[in-house]
Amino acid sequence: MKRGFVTIEAIIAFVVLTFAILMTVSSVRTLNLYKSKKDFYQDLYMSVLSVKDLIKNKDLEKNRIFEGELNGFKYRAQVKKEDVKHNMLMDEFFGFSPGTYQVTLYKILLEMKKGNLVKNFSFLLTREKLLKEYQYRP
């Protein structure tokens, strides 16, 4: 009788230990999956910000489509002119020399691809062009 009781205890302990090992392995797999997704999206958003910085320095009137590859992502950015305002008065408060400006608003549609994943982003950029500079007379 005592021998059978020890066998049942061993079987129960083995089952409990097996469940504990399975749960640990499952948790580690899930952790690795979420870490790889986090790293992927971190790379994606860093690449989006880098492409945005690249486009900021380009002439948006002449070039309407920008394509390339960055950090393993293929990107395609399309520039659309949304609005143009003439005779906007700006001064040092806005960080400009005093004068009349033409302000152009552009919408950038950005498509990022890696493998079969495609993500779309959009953002706005403005460009200011000095039309007439004012001279202050004290």
pLDDT value, residue 9: 85
Q: Kindly report, residue by residue over 28-82, the tens digit of the pLDDT.
A: 999 999 999 999 999 999 999 999 998 888 888 887 899 999 989 999 999 999 9
Q: Kindly report, residue by residue over 106-121, the tens digit of the pLDDT.
A: 999 999 999 899 999 9
Q: Which of 53, 61, 63 is nearest to 104 (CA)?
A: 61
SS3 (DSSP) at 80: strand
SS3 (DSSP) at 129: strand
Mean pLDDT of 3-15: 81
Percent of the residues in the chain that have a pLDDT greater than 70, as a whole number = 89
Judge if pTM exceeds 0.75.
no
pLDDT at 24 over 90: yes
**pLDDT: which is higher, 90 or 70:** 70
* CA 64 – CA 80 distance, rounded (Å): 7
Is the torsion defined by CA of 114, 115, 121, 126 positive or negative? positive
pLDDT value, residue 60: 83
pLDDT value, residue 93: 65
Domain boundaries, given as residue ranges, for the chain: 2-133
